[in-house]
Amino acid sequence: MELALILAAFGGGLFGAAIGGTISFIFTGLMALVGIAINLSIGDASFLNTVAFGPFFGPHIAFVGGVAAAAYAGLKKCEGAELNEYTIDGADCATPLFAIKDPMILLVGGIFGVLGLLINNMLINTGIAIDTIATTVVIMGIASRLLIGKQGLFGAYPSGEKKFDFSPRYIVYTALWGFGLAAVTSYAALAINVNSIGWAISAVSLLFLFTKANNFVVSHHVTMVAGYIAFATGSVLIGAVSGAVSSMAGEYINRWTNTHVKSHLDMPAIVIALGSFVALTLLN
């Protein structure tokens, strides 16, 4: 592996820490849409591979760096560091950390960016048919939680609080929006022969989390799995059904991994990794 690529991954992870993991991921979606347009127009995927999914905004580098840096900032807060009186929640990967002016936070982001690059390359070299970027995000999220967050893998619920308090109406609602979104995603993916088009749109849509629509839906796990399943089966209907499964799976996983915790373990990445394994290994 070239030293230049390792240095670039360090910079990508550091930049992800500075602007925040969620913001870096929104940029990933924007760059993916640009890259898809370029690839469809002239058949050149270099922008897609280098900028959107490479060391600049690849989630396994930039997002991972932001998540690890937030966990580290949260740890320092818990240990009593002042951090310029900046209130830090280690599970908050949406807040930019640039304002803290702590070089160690940026260094953690850069180091995890390099580790994300190395792990993703290792997964590619194993030949396992799975979304290696999503799997890397999961692995690095677990590492951040265990090594930096200094807690167990799952959140500790207070006594008396139910972990899975889903009403029948909520289950139907969640499955329905997943089904509908996956249906249109599967159709578009098959029509233009790009399985990640829905995922890219979902990633960009997270921009609305920073507006008054702060309860805006997080949907990229639904759209990416639908793209994989639609490609594997050639069926819009099966892709739509996968969306209902993915949306409900996300709800259950999120209550295991991201409730009452001190770091972020990305639920969409877990769903995408599992869904991609089903599509690429079992269905293919």
Tokens standing for residue 96? 């930019």
Task: Record the tokens describing residue 16, joined without a space.
Answer: 């992800």
Q: Which of 70-74, 88-92, 121-125, 168-172 has the lowest mean pLDDT?
A: 88-92
Residue given tokens 């396994």 in the structure block: 60
Residues 202 and 258 both lie in one domain: yes
pLDDT band at 85 (very low <50, low <70, confident <90, very high): low
pLDDT at position 82, please? 56
Q: Which residue carries 């289950």 as its tokens?
A: 171
Q: Which two tokens stand for residue 197?
A: 């088009």
What pLDDT is attached to residue 213?
Answer: 77
CA distances from 84 to 20, 77, 99 (A): 18, 10, 9
Band of the pLDDT at 181, cuts 50, 70, 90? very high
- Does residue 161 lie in a domain region? no
132 and 178 belong to one structural domain = no
- Asked whether residue 157 is domain-assigned, the answer is no
Question: Quick check: is 279 in a domain?
Answer: yes
Mean pLDDT, residues 135-158 taken together: 87
Domain membership of residue 155 (yes or no) is no
Strands (E) located in the chain: none
Please give the backbone phi and psi of residue 219, each rounded to the nearest 5 degrees, phi first: -135, 5
Tally of CA atoms within 13 A in the half-sphere of 192 that contains its CB: 16
Q: How many domains does the chain have?
A: 2
**Residue range of the domain that includes 202:** 168-283
Residues 135 and 180 in one domain: no
Q: Do the domain assignments include residue 197?
A: yes
What's the whole-number mean pLDDT along residues 124-135? 97
Instruction: Output the average pLDDT for the chain.
Output: 93
- Over residues 14-18, the mean pLDDT reads 98
Residue-level pLDDT at 83 = 52
Q: For the beta carbon of residue 140, count every other beta carbon within 10 angstroms.
A: 28
**What span, in angstroms and rounded, lies between the C-alpha atoms of 278 and 284?**
8
Q: Let me know if residue 154 belongs to a domain.
A: no
User: Residue 163: inside a domain, yes or no?
Assistant: no
Q: Can you give the pLDDT at residue 79?
A: 57
Asked if the structure places residue 275 within a domain, the reply is: yes
What is residue 215's predicted lDDT score, i.e. its pLDDT?
A: 83
* CA atoms lying within 13 Å on the CB side of residue 121: 14
